[in-house]
């Protein structure tokens, strides 16, 4: 409802004051035309008086039509459309309203001023309007659909929407770039512009607006694994992949992803993955799908798992294993063989380390190692995802990186006796192998080249970590690399008592 305040009345009058004055002057002249003639013309002809009266009576209707048109422009097009609906009224509606007012004025002049019958005029006008309306029915439908869309505003310019055609699987996704009174223009992800008539949008499609209200949208992906993979292991590995993917901008980090058992089939167990993004605000749905798929497949591969596939094999001997078992020595060897730190070891040395590794499980948010504590073991992540934390200048723990499956940490403490340089916390439920100092005692003493190789690898890894933490420049790293390596090797020898 509009409240006509005193200021609003003054503003309205200032815009139409000339039309009001003109209308009132002409009206006063017409009402007093006979008195004016009597005053200025003592003996005027009756026909002249009647003609002048008809002229001013006609001008009254015309000036009244002009005033009415201005009132419509102010109250309807400006107050309602521009100020309340925040949109421009279509020019065709303004023109039609003006034509309607003019026709009304002409009709009144013909019927009231000149006493003419209007039956034939209205009959002809009705037929003409019927013919024109039939010829322009689609355009008129688009026009009124555009009015409804501008009033209801199911989407605005800049919104990303998805249009589903009723009774069809076809859909179109894009950004609304223009909303006219006849059509809506949408730019798709491949940068093509679709022009969809408003009548089709109003009657034949279903609209999903990703940006209206809460921009957070949930998406789902599905992964099918073999029955031989335990559900808790499958969930842990898949969840770790999603959490790593969510480091990218555009994912809603406040909403933790979900991994649910969706169904079972002849292939295996299907897991439903749920995650939230803000579509096209840093990432598109297709980019998010690629990121999640890539990271989950990486974690699945590192965990020694393969996706389920149709199997019609017939075996006349022992069934081969399709997945790695972390409790078997040969599978442990396969896992540590992926680690660069152990790439110089022979098969016997790998077996020795594999047999002495201890498998440990951690729940989400469990601390595996803490900054500043003493330690004599290193860890290899086999399932899950870990956060690396250090203290900032405010002495608050902040995350600086993540550890993904097949990556290791803690080797400096195990090999040199240094205290832990960072805190490592489980981002999701995780499984690690722990290797203690005792596993390396005989190994390092038996082969001198192992110390050199491990020293080189630890040096490179340590310098990279230092660069992350202290923002050292590349030049400083190159200069200090050789000396740093000698220092590391010296510490290893001293810690293990090797001369």
Distant-in-sequence, close-in-space partners of 259: CB < 8 Å, separation ≥ 6: 234, 235, 238, 239, 242, 271, 272, 273, 274
Find out if CATH 1.10.287.130 is the number for domain 217-302. Answer: no
Q: Are 367 and 405 in contact (CB under 8 A)?
A: no
Q: What is the pLDDT of residue 151?
A: 66
Confidence at 77, pLDDT banded by 50, 70, 90: confident
Q: What is the pLDDT of residue 269?
A: 94
CATH topology (fold) of 329-496: Jelly Rolls (2.60.120)
Greater model confidence, 192 or 129: 192
pLDDT over threshold 90, residue 20: no
Which of 109-118, 241-250, 400-409 comes out lowest in average pLDDT?
Answer: 109-118
User: Could you read off the pLDDT of 42-73 as tens digits, one per residue?
Assistant: 555 677 777 877 888 888 888 888 888 888 88
Q: What is the pLDDT of residue 477?
A: 45
Distances (CA, A) of 435 to 388, 428, 446: 19, 21, 18
pTM for the structure as a whole: 0.59
Burial of 407 (0-12, 13-18, 19+ CB in 10 A): middle
Distances (CA, A) of 384 to 294, 307, 315, 404: 15, 17, 34, 7
Q: What is the pLDDT of residue 465?
A: 66
Confidence at 1, pLDDT banded by 50, 70, 90: very low
Greater model confidence, 386 or 115: 386
How many C-beta atoms surround the C-beta of residue 52 within 10 A? 17
Q: What is the pLDDT of residue 135?
A: 61
Greater model confidence, 73 or 429: 429
Q: What is the pLDDT of residue 386?
A: 95
The average pLDDT across 480-493 equals: 80
User: Could you read off the pLDDT of 257-311 as tens digits, one per residue?
Assistant: 999 999 999 889 999 999 999 888 888 889 999 999 999 999 999 988 889 888 7
pLDDT over threshold 50, residue 28: yes
User: Could you read off the pLDDT of 166-180 as tens digits, one per residue?
Assistant: 766 677 888 888 877
CATH class of 156-209: mainly beta
Greater model confidence, 393 or 4: 393
Which of 130-139, 181-190, 350-359, 440-449 comes out lowest in average pLDDT?
Answer: 130-139
**Residue percentage of the chain with pLDDT more than 70:** 79
Confidence at 474, pLDDT banded by 50, 70, 90: very low
């Amino acid at each position: 409802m509009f409240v006509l305040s005193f200021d609003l009345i003054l503003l309205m009058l200032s815009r139409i004051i000339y039309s009001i004055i003109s209308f009132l002057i002409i009206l006063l002249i017409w009402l007093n035309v006979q008195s004016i003639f009597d005053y200025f013309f003592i003996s005027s002809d009756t026909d002249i008086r009647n003609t002048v009266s008809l002229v001013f009576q006609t001008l009254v209707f015309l000036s009244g039509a002009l005033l009415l048109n201005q009132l419509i422009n102010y109250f309807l097009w400006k107050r309602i459309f521009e100020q309340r609906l925040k949109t421009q009224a279509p020019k065709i509606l303004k023109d039609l309203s003006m034509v309607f007012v003019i026709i009304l004025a002409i009709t009144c002049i013909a019927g009231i001023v000149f006493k003419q019958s209007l039956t034939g005029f209205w009959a002809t006008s009705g037929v003409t309007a019927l013919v024109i309306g039939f010829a322009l029915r689609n355009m008129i439908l688009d026009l009124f659909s555009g009015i409804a869309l501008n009033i209801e505003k199911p989407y605005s310019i800049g919104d990303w929407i998805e249009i589903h055609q009723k009774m069809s699987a076809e859909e179109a996704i894009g950004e609304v770039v223009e909303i006219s009174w006849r059509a809506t223009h949408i730019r798709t992800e491949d940068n093509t512009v679709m022009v969809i008539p408003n009548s089709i949008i109003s009657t034949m499609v279903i609209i999903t607006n990703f940006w209206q209200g809460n921009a957070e949208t949930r998406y789902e992906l599905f992964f099918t694994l073999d029955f031989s993979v335990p559900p808790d292991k499958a969930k842990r590995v898949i969840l770790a992949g999603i959490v790593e993917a969510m480091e990218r901008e555009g994912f809603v980090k406040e909403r933790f992803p979900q991994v649910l058992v969706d169904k079972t089939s002849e292939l295996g167990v299907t897991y439903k993955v749920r995650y939230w993004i803000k579509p096209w605000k840093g990432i598109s749905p297709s980019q998010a799908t690629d990121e999640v798929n890539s990271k989950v497949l990486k974690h699945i591969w590192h965990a020694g798992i393969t996706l389920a596939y149709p199997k019609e094999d017939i075996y006349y001997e022992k069934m081969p294993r399709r997945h790695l078992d972390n409790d078997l020595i040969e599978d442990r060897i396969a896992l540590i063989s992926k680690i660069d730190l152990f790439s110089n070891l022979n098969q016997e040395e790998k077996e020795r380390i594999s047999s002495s590794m201890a498998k440990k499980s951690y729940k989400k948010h469990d601390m595996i190692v803490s900054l500043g504590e003493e330690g004599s073991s290193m860890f290899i992540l086999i399932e899950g995802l870990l956060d690396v934390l250090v203290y900032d200048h405010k002495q608050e723990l902040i995350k600086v990186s993540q550890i993904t499956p097949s990556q290791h940490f803690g080797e400096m403490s195990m090999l040199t006796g240094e205290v832990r340089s960072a805190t490592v916390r489980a981002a999701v439920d995780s499984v690690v192998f722990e290797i203690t100092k005792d596993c390396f005692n005989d190994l390092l003493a038996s082969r001198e080249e192992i110390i050199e190789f491990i020293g080189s690898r630890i040096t490179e890894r340590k310098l990279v970590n230092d660069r992350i933490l202290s923002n050292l420049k590349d030049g400083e790293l190159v200069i200090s690399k050789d000396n740093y390596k000698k220092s590391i090797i010296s510490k290893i020898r001293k810690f293990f008592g090797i001369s």
